[in-house]
Structures are given as structure tokens and as C-alpha cells.
Structure 1
Amino acid sequence: MHQFPNIILYAIPFFIIAMVVEVVYTVRLNLKSYQTKDSVTSLSMGIGNVLLGFISKAIVIAAFYFVYDNFRLFTIPVTWWSFVLIFFADDFSYYWFHRISHQCRLFWASHVVHHSSQHYNLSTALRQTWSGGFYTFIFWLWLPLVGFHPGMILLQMSISLLYQFWIHTEAINKMPKWFEAIFNTPSHHRVHHGSNPIYLDRNHAGILIIWDKLFGTFQQELDEEKVIYGLVSNIKTYNPVKVAFIEWFFMFKDTFKHKISLKNRINYLIKPPGWKHDGTGKLSDDLRNEWLKNRQNELQQ
């Protein structure tokens, strides 16, 4: 069995040092990126994610090995070229996991945690779900099926998560054009964390931004549209437990409403956030189209 290090645990000192440097730098630039209560909540979410990860990781490893040992179609050797392949395969999987997490409320219930901060800094990267690790791994199950070793998969997933730490900052404006064209960057990811209608559900990239450009979900950060971080309806709490589970509460509250059909109960689980069975809800596409229409009218005046 191949053994690979848990690079996330080794990276924790780097996370701390990087946040201290960012605090000093952003204070000098008067960016006001950090707010004490918000950052403490983000760090608490990160600690909870690591602790619960000891349980969820066991489930993920068991699932990967079960598929790999019993159903794999091929056996891909652990060598240099297979790491190239899994880099793209993992990033492709992450894109679709991330995109569907914004389009299906069942997955949004765990992913919303990461978007709940109204600030954007390196501590925001640590604001991670306490529930997602138990079921979102299904987007990666095809990798052991085609023959990638579970150890390789977990290592590449960690590399992707580690990469995404540094892009949670306002301290970096733009990277070189060639880098912005290929990779996910602070500018691209600021868009993803925006609650502005034009920015909603855009830039789902992990490491490579090419998937968003290929599948039509890319949005450039606009100079004239400053990013407003957070949710369309912010949860307004710093309580880590509430942050972790409040959307689960609201989702099940909607699901078990009185006098609605079984179909609509299921729809509250699988439809996008904002969907209402009576047609009164607004989805991100509705909000974006309204914004674009108003923008067009402003330009015509």
C-alpha cells in the first residue's frame, strides 16, 4: 500500500505565518480585510473540519479502496505520468463538485459555510464545512474506478486544497496575464465569493480556471463592480455551530412544510438555493439577468 504524507497538517504553520504577514500588509494598505470575530469563527470552522476529518477521512478512504479493490477497470501505476493525469482528473472532479454545490441545495447546505463570511482573507480559506466531507467525495469515486490508487487521489485532493489557500486574499490584485489565463487566482476567486448578482455562481475552479472558461461559468473581476463578499442573505452569526448547520435547518424546514407534494419536498433538496415551490423564489440566474438588464438600461440612458 502506497503511503503519502498528510500535507495539510504539515502546512498548518505556513497558514499561520501567512495570515500574520497578510494582517500586517493589509493594515498598511488600509484594506480592512480582517475582523476579529469573523476570523475567530473561520479558524473555529477550520479546527472543527480537521477534527471531524479524522472520521470523514476514514469513510472516504474506505469508499475509495472498496471501489479500487473490487471494481477498478484498469490499474494505473504510481509514476510521474500518472500524477500528471490525476492532476487534471482531480481538478476536473473538483470543478463539477464545486459547481453542483452551488446548484443543488443538498450540497449547498455544507458548502455555504465557506461563503458565509462577509470578509475575504486567508482565514476565510480555513472556514470549511463540518458536514461535506461525509458525502461530497462521491464526485471523486470515478477515479479509483478507472484505476487511480486511493493514496494518489487523497494526495492530489490535498494539493488542490493547499493551492486554494493563497487565493483567498485582497493583498494580491492581479497575477501576470498568462497566469490569470490558465490558473485560479485571487482575482478570479474574489469573484466566486461575491454576492453581487453578476458574480453569483461563477469561477468554480480549483487550480485551473480553464474549466470555467470551457463550460461557460467564467466571470472576470470588474473594476467598476467592487466585490461584496458573503451571501445574498447573510446569516449574521459568529457562532460556529450555527454557521455549520443553519442551512441544513432551513433546508429541512422547507422540505417538511405542510401541504406540499412529495415532488416538491424532493425539489427542496435538489433544486438550487433560492428555489420555492410556489414560484416566488429567485435563483442566481434570475438575479444576474435582472442586474444585466438594469446595467443595459443605465448604459442606454
Structure 2
Amino acid sequence: MEAYGQILLIAMPAFFVLVLFEKFYGIWKGNDTVPLNDMISSLSSGMTNVTKDVLGLSLIVISYEWMVNQFELVQFEATWVTYVIAFIALDFAGYWTHRISHEYNLFWNNHIIHHSSEEFNLACALRQSISSIVKIFGIFLIPAAILGVPPQVIAIVAPLHLFAQFWYHTQHIKRMGFLEKIIVTPSHHRVHHAINPEYLDKNYGQIFIIWDKIFNTYQEEKEEIPAVYGVTRPVQTWNPIKINFMHLWLLIKDAWRAEKWVDKLKIWFMPLGWRPADVAKNYPVNKIEDVYHFEKYNPQLTKGMLIWSFGQLIALLFLLSYLFGNLATIGAPGIFYYGGFVFLTVFAYTELMDRNPNAWAWELLKVAYALYFVVNSGDWFELNKFLPGSVYIFVGYLVISAFFSVWFSLRKEKLELTNKLRMQ
């Protein structure tokens, strides 16, 4: 937990700088692929994901260490060969976990967040799940366990394997020559994120493209078929917490509404998109029929609201860095209370970006939640000891945050009235 937190103290600002670099590079080239509202939503999703992971809010069906103890036939020392084997084993496991999440209703809920952006950029790479509470990834590491790859090697290689999937989420890198035959490139992954019928359910590979070629899921990007991004049932929100659970909520409602008991059970394990016939007829859902002619989600936001939302993101990034750097000092259960504040903050300002008329209520709930801990302890989880006087800055931030969020919510209603009058 603490080691991963220390890694993230370096990784988070590095990813943030690279996302900003891509945006400014796109502006310079006249092809900005990183709209600010989409970027804020993606980065916010990334912060909720790393918070969940650092706090250990997951259940592993089978631990890798247990599998090594049960299945190992040989033992490897931690040499460079062992690390290479571990990397290949992780990639094999990643291919199948990724593929299953696309092919079955139940597992899609863990992955929908990653595909929810209707853009394709480095920021959307950070849209990672908080709903994957039960993880099956370890099951596919049985080959590594049989070979006796030490658990500590897997623990070191796993985050490197994950971070290595960041760079190819971009539209600015075209074809890469002979590398297209070996590794997953931006071209391959653009196909994977596309909702064009020709591209759906292809290129599941994470580092090596060879798995897709072996298991017949490979599709080359074609110039005459420009990729269109998103999901066929558009999420219609910037709130990453809502996105993480909307497919699960749909499955729950469909199972409840289905007339046949067999449908109530099998809906969870049917191919992605399957719904009971009676439910699909009586409760249709919004689905993109023509991928080349649909309106992207983009509620009208003033420049001030966008700047404010970006400011909230930056403030949360600093507060999150403090959490990750002081996990031992804060301790349990404090780190979990702190995590609750992170989730409430993201929920509040992304609801404002969605122009939810009740966004101000979520903001006031966040502020009240934080003030409860400040009033009861006279500090914000040892922040004042770390930086004397900082608790007053934190309280000032809460007051300013509440004021502007309520102001933007009320001003938003004023803007809607003005727009209606203009249309009449």
C-alpha cells in the first residue's frame, strides 16, 4: 500500500504533464484532441481509481502467492529472465481479462469507464475502474505460478506493465512500421476504442499484439474507416463515479423487470448487450445506431465554469498527493475517511459540469463532511503538523469551493432561462 502510494507520487504528476503536453501539442498542430471537459473527467476518474487501489478496496478471488504455493513445478531465481517471463505472463493474463470484460455482461461494468470517453487521448487512458471490487486477473497467472515466478517479481512488474499501456492512447502517432507486427501501437488501440461495426471487439492486447493474431481478434486500422470513439450506449455524463456503476444498475433493473426467472439469472453471463426480449421491448435504452451521425455529449459550460472545474481538479491533486505521501502517518481508519472526501469531491464538481441542478447539494455535503473532521480534530489528518497553518488554507478552500459551486449552480439556471428566451 505505502510502496504503491510512493510510486504514484511520481506517476501522477508525470501523467498530468504528459496529458497537458498532448493538449498543447494538438493546439499547436491545429488538431486539439483533448477537450478540457473530457480531460477533467478522465483525470478525475484516474484519481478515484488510484485512491481505491492504494486503499486496497478490492477482493482477489485467488491470490498469486497461494497459486505459487500450490502449483509451482520449478523455482526461478529473480534474474532478468524471470522478469521477462513475468512480463509475458502478465500480458497473457491481461489479454484474457480484457477480452472477457468486453464479451460478458457482468464483467463489462468493470471496463465501461475506460471506453466511456467520446474522444481518444492520453487522458482517457486514465479512465480506470473503481467498480472492479472482485478481481479474477490472478486466475490467468497460473502459467507463471507453475513456473514458480516469485510473487515479489510479479508485484514489481505489474505496475510497470500497467503504466506501459498509457502512451498509445493518442491520435497524434500514426503507423509505426515493423513495430505494428510486435507491440500494441496507437493505431491498434484506436481500433480497439472505436465503435465502428468493422472495429468492434478487436485488438484486446495490452503490450504485445501477438495474442490478438493468435486468437483471431486482430483488426488493422483502415484509412477509409476513421475511428469513432465511445460506447454504443452513450454514458451522457462527466461523472466517473456514475459511469462506473451505470451498466451494473442497468443489469439489476433488467433482471428485476424480466418476467422469466431464467432470464433474471442468465442476463449476467450472456454476451455483452444481451437483454431479455420483454425488457428490451418495454424498457428501450438509448443506443447509437449510426456511429457517423450522433451528437457527442457536451453540455454548455461557461469558460468560468470550466476554469473552476479545472481548479478543483488541481486542488484535489495536491490533497491526494498528501494522502499518498503520508499513508502511515494518517493510518487506518483515517485513510478511508480521507478516501471518502476524494470521492465526494469528484462527484460534486463533475455533477456541476453535468449541469445537474442539485450539484450545489453535493458540494455542501462534501464541505460538511470535511469540516466535521476539522472541527473534531482541529486538523485535517495531520496536515497542519506537516505544514503549519495549512489547516486554515484548507478551510479557506472549503469556503471558497462552497461559494463558487453554489454560485455557478444558480448562474447556470440563469443561463438556461436566457437560452430559452433566445429560442422563443
TM over 0.5: yes
Q: Alpha-carbon deviation of 1:97?
A: 0.7
AA aligned to 1:156 is V
Equivalences for 1:243-282 in 2 at 5 Å? Answer: 243-262=243-262, 264-278=263-277
Partner of 2:331: none
Q: Alpha-carbon deviation of 1:270?
A: 1.2
Partner of 2:150: 149
Equivalences for 1:1-301 in 2 at 5 Å? Answer: 7=7, 9-56=9-56, 59-60=59-60, 63-70=63-70, 72-132=72-132, 134-142=134-142, 145-146=145-146, 147-175=148-176, 177-262=177-262, 264-278=263-277
Partner of 2:353: none
Q: Alpha-carbon deviation of 1:157?
A: 2.1
AA aligned to 1:142 is I
TM-score (norm: length of structure 1)? 0.84
State the identity %.
35
Q: Alpha-carbon deviation of 1:158?
A: 1.4
Moved more, 236-245 or 193-202: 236-245
AA aligned to 1:265 is K
In the alignment, the residues of structure 1 paired with residue 31 and residue 54 of structure 2 have an alpha-carbon distance, to the nearest angstrom, of 36
AA aligned to 1:267 is K
AA aligned to 1:163 is A
Q: Any conservation in 2 of the 1:4–1:151 contact (CA below 8 Å)?
A: no
Q: CA RMSD in A?
A: 2.7
In the alignment, the residues of structure 1 paired with residue 23 and residue 279 of structure 2 have an alpha-carbon distance, to the nearest angstrom, of 42
SS at match of 1:180: helix
Partner of 2:312: none
Q: Alpha-carbon deviation of 1:156?
A: 2.2
Moved more, 138-147 or 220-229: 138-147
AA aligned to 2:211 is W
Moved more, 232-241 or 202-211: 232-241
Q: Any conservation in 2 of the 1:57–1:133 contact (CA below 8 Å)?
A: yes
Specify whether residues 249 and 167 from structure 1 end up closer, same or farther in structure 2 by C-alpha distance, changes over 3 A only: same
The number of residue pairs the alignment matches comes to 279
1:233-278 residue CA offsets vs partner (Å, 9 max, x unmatched): 211111122111111101221223242123x223211112211233
Partner of 1:286: none
AA aligned to 1:278 is A
Moved more, 55-64 or 208-217: 55-64
In the alignment, the residues of structure 1 paired with residue 139 and residue 245 of structure 2 have an alpha-carbon distance, to the nearest angstrom, of 22
Q: Any conservation in 2 of the 1:7–1:159 contact (CA below 8 Å)?
A: no
AA aligned to 1:227 is A
Structure 1: tracts of 5 or more residues without a match: 282-290, 292-301
Specify whether residues 279 and 98 from structure 1 end up closer, same or farther in structure 2 by C-alpha distance, changes over 3 A only: farther
SS at match of 1:92: helix
Work out which structure has the larger RCO, using CA pairs closer than 8 Å and 6 or more positions apart in sequence. 1
TM-score (norm: length of structure 2)? 0.61
Specify whether residues 269 and 62 from structure 1 end up closer, same or farther in structure 2 by C-alpha distance, changes over 3 A only: closer
- Name the larger-Rg structure: 2
Specify whether residues 249 and 61 from structure 1 end up closer, same or farther in structure 2 by C-alpha distance, changes over 3 A only: closer
Moved more, 57-66 or 123-132: 57-66
